[in-house]
Amino acid sequence: MNSFISKQTVWCLTLAAVLLWLPAGAARAMHGNASIAGVTGTAFQFTAKADHITTGDGNNVFFWGYANGGGEVQYPGPTLIVNDGDTVTITLVNRLPEATSLVIPGFAVTASGGQPGLLTREAPPDGITTVTYTFEANRPGTFTYYSGTHSDLQVEMGLLGAIIVRPSGYVAADPMSWTAYGDERSAYDQEYLYLLSEMDLTIHKLAEQGLFDQIDTTRFWPVYWFVNGRTAPDTMLDDDVSWLPHQPYSAMTMMNAGERVLMRMIGGGRDSHPFHTHGNNFDQIARDGWLLDEGGGNRAAEVGFIPDKSVSDFTQTVSPGGTYDAIFVWTGKGLGWDIYNGSDAEHMMAVLTDANGDGFDDTTFEYIADHGKPFPVVLPGQQEVTFGAFYSGSPFLGAAGSLPPGEGGNNPNSGFAYMWHSHNEKEMVNNDIFPGGLMTMVIVDAPGGGVMP
Amino acid sequence: MKTLNAGFLGVATSLLLLFAAPPLQAATVTYNLAATAGTVAMPDGASVPVWGLVQGANLPLTPVPVLTAAAGDDLLLNLTNNLPEPVCLTINGQQTANPAGFAVQAPTPVFFADANGRNRGRSFTYETAAGGGTASYAWTNLNPGTYLIGSGSHPSVQVPMGLYAVLKVDVAPNEAYPGELFDSEATLLFSELDPVLNQAVAAGAYGTATYPTALKVGYKPKYFLLNGRPWSASSPPLASVTAGETVLLRLLNAGLRARAPIFPGQALTMLAEDGKPAGFQPIQVTADLFAGKTLDAVFTAPANAGYLPLHDRALGLSGGGMLGYLTVGTPTVALDVTVTGPGSVSTTSLPGGIAACAAGDCSASYLADTAVALHALPSGPDSALSSWSVNLTAGGTPTGECIGGGDCVVTLDQGKTVTAIFANYAATTLISPNGGEQVPLDQTMPIRWAAPADVYTFDLGYSPSPGSPFRMFANRVAGREFLWDLATANLRPSSAVRLAIVGYDASGAIVDRDTSDTPFALVSPLQLTYPNGATGEAAIVAGDPVTITWDVRPTVIPVVRGTLWFQASTNTPWTLVADVDPILGSYAWTAPATPTAGATARMALTLYDATGKVVANDTSDAPFRIEPPAGPLAATSRRTLTATTTVAAAVAEPADLVLLIPNGGEILAGEIPFTILWQDTTQAATFVLDYSLDGGQNWQSLATAIEGNQFDWIIATELRGSNAVRLRITAVDAKDAVLARDLSDAAFAID
Q: How far is B643 from chain A (nearest CA, A)?
A: 53
- Determine the 3-state secondary structure of A343 from DSSP: coil
pLDDT band at B634; cut points 50, 70, 90: very low
- Determine the 3-state secondary structure of A346 from DSSP: helix
Residue to substitute from A120, A219, A319, interface B, most B β-carbons within 10 A? A319
Q: Say whether both B681 and B722 belong to one domain.
A: yes
In a domain, B326, yes or no: no
pLDDT band at A320; cut points 50, 70, 90: very high
The CATH H-level superfamily of A25-35+251-328 is: Cupredoxins -  blue copper proteins (2.60.40.420)
Parallel, antiparallel, or unpaired for β B246-253 and B184-193?
Answer: parallel
- With vertex at residue B587, the alpha carbon angle to CA B585 and CA B588, rounded to the nearest 5 degrees, is 145
Query: Which of A109, A119, A288 lies closest to B311 in CB terms?
Result: A119
Q: How far is B241 from chain A (nearest CA, A)?
A: 18
Q: How does pLDDT run across B243-259, given as a tens digit for each residue?
A: 999 999 999 999 999 99
Query: Which of B265, B286, B556 lies closest to A108 in CB terms?
Result: B265
CA atoms within 13 A on the CB side of B325: 24
**Residues of A (315-334) whose Cβ lies below 8 Å from B:** 317, 319-322
CA atoms within 13 A on the CB side of B229: 20
Evaluate whether A25-35+251-328 and A39-169+195-236 have a shared fold: yes
Residue A322 and residue B286: Cβ atoms within 8 Å?
yes
Residue B443 and residue A118: Cβ atoms within 8 Å?
no
Residue B371 and residue A116: Cβ atoms within 8 Å?
yes
Q: Say whether both B635 and B548 belong to one domain.
A: yes
**B382, B398, B424 — which closes off a domain?**
B424
Is the minimum CB–CB distance between A125 and chain B shorter than 8 Å?
yes
Contacts of B592 (CB under 8 A, 6+ apart): B542, B543, B566, B568, B626, B652, B653
For the whole model, what pTM was predicted? 0.81
Neighbours of B656 (CB within 10 A): 17
CA atoms within 13 A on the CB side of A262: 27
Is the minimum CB–CB distance between A99 and chain B shorter than 8 Å?
no
Q: How far apart are CA B573 and CA B653, in angstroms?
A: 9
Q: How far apart are CA B164 and CA B255, in angstroms?
A: 10
Look at residues B7, B359, B327 and name the one whose alpha carbon lies nearest to residue B152.
Answer: B7
Residue A288 and residue B285: Cβ atoms within 8 Å?
yes
- Determine the 3-state secondary structure of A207 from DSSP: helix
Pick the residue from chain B with its C-alpha nearest to A287. Answer: B284
**What integer pLDDT is reported at residue B472 of this predicted model?**
92
Q: How far apart are CA A403 and CA A411, in angstroms?
A: 12
Give this complex's ipTM. 0.91
Q: Say whether both B504 and B608 belong to one domain.
A: no
Is the minimum CB–CB distance between A116 and chain B shorter than 8 Å?
yes
pLDDT higher than 50, residue B286: yes
**Bridge partners of residue B547, in order along the sequence:** B588
pLDDT higher than 50, residue B605: yes
Parallel, antiparallel, or unpaired for β B545-552 and B749-750?
Answer: unpaired
**B619, B644, B669 — which closes off a domain?**
B644
Q: Say whether both B624 and B547 belong to one domain.
A: yes
Residue A95 and residue B444: Cβ atoms within 8 Å?
yes
Q: How far apart are CA B572 and CA B535, in angstroms?
A: 24
pLDDT band at B644; cut points 50, 70, 90: very low
> Under CATH, which architecture does the A39-169+195-236 domain have?
Sandwich (2.60)
pLDDT higher than 80, residue A203: yes
Which secondary structure element, helix H or strand E, spans residue B477, and what is its range? strand B471-478
Q: How does pLDDT run across A357-379, given as a tens digit for each residue?
A: 889 998 889 999 999 999 999 98
CATH number at residue B484: 2.60.40.10
Cα distances (angstroms) measured from residue A43 to each of A88, A134, B265, B555:
6, 9, 20, 18
pLDDT higher than 80, residue B659: yes
Q: Which residues of A touch B558 (CB under 8 A)?
A: 70
Pick the residue from chain B with its C-alpha nearest to A114. Answer: B409
In a domain, B69, yes or no: no
- Determine the 3-state secondary structure of B318 from DSSP: helix
Mean residue pLDDT of chain B comes to: 88
Mean predicted confidence (pLDDT) in B436-459: 89
Residue B280 and residue A309: Cβ atoms within 8 Å?
yes
Residue A125 and residue B265: Cβ atoms within 8 Å?
no
Q: How far apart are CA A177 and CA A415, in angstroms?
A: 26
Q: How does pLDDT run across B222-245, given as a tens digit for each residue?
A: 999 999 999 999 999 999 999 999
**What integer pLDDT is reported at residue A100 of this predicted model?**
98
**What integer pLDDT is reported at residue B360 of this predicted model?**
84
Identify whether the C-beta of residue B731 lies closer than 8 Å to the C-beta of residue B738.
Answer: yes
Cα distances (angstroms) measured from residue B343 to each of A249, A449, B335, B391, B482:
49, 71, 19, 20, 20
Mean predicted confidence (pLDDT) in A169-182: 94
**What integer pLDDT is reported at residue B642 of this predicted model?**
38
pLDDT band at A381; cut points 50, 70, 90: confident
**What integer pLDDT is reported at residue B632 of this predicted model?**
58
Contacts of B542 (CB under 8 A, 6+ apart): B591, B592, B593, B594, B595, B626, B627, B628, B629
Percent pLDDT > 90 in chain B is 57
In a domain, B688, yes or no: yes
**What integer pLDDT is reported at residue A302 of this predicted model?**
78
**Residues of B (455-514) whose Cβ lies below 8 Å from A:** 483, 485, 487
Residue to substitute from A92, A110, A128, interface B, most B β-carbons within 10 A? A128
Cα distances (angstroms) measured from residue A57 to each of A159, A194, A232, B214, B217:
22, 21, 9, 33, 30
**What integer pLDDT is reported at residue B211 of this predicted model?**
93
Q: How does pLDDT run across B362-382, given as a tens digit for each residue?
A: 999 999 999 999 999 999 988
Q: What are phi and psi of B295, to 5 degrees?
A: -135, 140
**What integer pLDDT is reported at residue B631 of this predicted model?**
63
**What integer pLDDT is reported at residue A7 of this predicted model?**
36
Query: Which of B282, B323, B407 lies closest to A292 in CB terms?
Result: B282
Q: Say whether both B464 and B572 belong to one domain.
A: no
Q: How does pLDDT run across B726-744, given as a tens digit for each residue?
A: 999 988 888 888 888 888 8
**Residues of B (440-459) whose Cβ lies below 8 Å from A:** 440, 442-446
**B424, B453, B468 — which closes off a domain?**
B424
pLDDT band at B498; cut points 50, 70, 90: very high
Which secondary structure element, helix H or strand E, spans residue A253, and what is its range? strand A253-256
Q: Say whether both B442 and B409 belong to one domain.
A: no
Mean predicted confidence (pLDDT) in B33-41: 97
Look at residues B264, B262, B266 and name the one whose alpha carbon lies nearest to residue B245.
Answer: B266
- What letter would DSSP give residue A204? H
Q: Say whether both B352 and B385 belong to one domain.
A: yes
Classify residue B293 by burial, with Cβ atoms within 10 Å: 0-12, 13-18, 19+.
buried
Identify whether the C-beta of residue A404 lies closer than 8 Å to the C-beta of residue A382.
Answer: yes
Give the domain range for residue B371: 333-424
Residue A126 and residue B444: Cβ atoms within 8 Å?
yes
Q: Say whether both B566 and B622 belong to one domain.
A: yes
Q: Structurally, how many domains does chain B consist of?
A: 4
Residue B487 and residue A93: Cβ atoms within 8 Å?
no
pLDDT band at B290; cut points 50, 70, 90: very high
**Residues of B (383-422) whose Cβ lies below 8 Å from A:** 407, 409
In a domain, B611, yes or no: yes
In a domain, B735, yes or no: yes
Q: How does pLDDT run across B105-122, given as a tens digit for each residue?
A: 778 999 999 889 999 999
DSSP letters for B324-370: EEEEES---EEEEEEEEEEEEEEE-STT----SEEEEEEEEEE-TTE
Look at residues B635, B681, B451 and name the one whose alpha carbon lies nearest to residue B543.
Answer: B635
Cα distances (angstroms) measured from residue A424 to each of A253, A272, A275, A318:
20, 9, 8, 12
* Of B35-44, B207-216, B392-401, B501-510, minimum mean pLDDT range: B207-216
Q: How does pLDDT run across B670-687, given as a tens digit for each residue?
A: 666 787 888 787 778 889
Mean residue pLDDT of chain A comes to: 90
Q: How does pLDDT run across B585-599, given as a tens digit for each residue?
A: 899 999 988 888 888
Q: Say whether both B716 and B742 belong to one domain.
A: yes
**What integer pLDDT is reported at residue B70 of this predicted model?**
97
Contacts of B103 (CB under 8 A, 6+ apart): B97
- Determine the 3-state secondary structure of B47 from DSSP: strand
pLDDT higher than 70, residue B336: yes
Pick the residue from chain B with its C-alpha nearest to A136. Answer: B265
pLDDT higher than 80, residue A122: yes
**What integer pLDDT is reported at residue A31 of this predicted model?**
53
**Residues of A (215-234) whose Cβ lies below 8 Å from B:** 216-220
Mean predicted confidence (pLDDT) in B290-318: 97
Q: Say whether both B640 and B535 belong to one domain.
A: yes
In a domain, B538, yes or no: yes
Domain boundaries in chain A?
A: 25-35+251-328, 39-169+195-236
Percent pLDDT > 70 in chain A is 92
The residue ranking higher by pLDDT, A319 or B525, is A319
In a domain, B702, yes or no: yes
Q: Say whether both B510 and B546 belong to one domain.
A: no
In a domain, B493, yes or no: yes
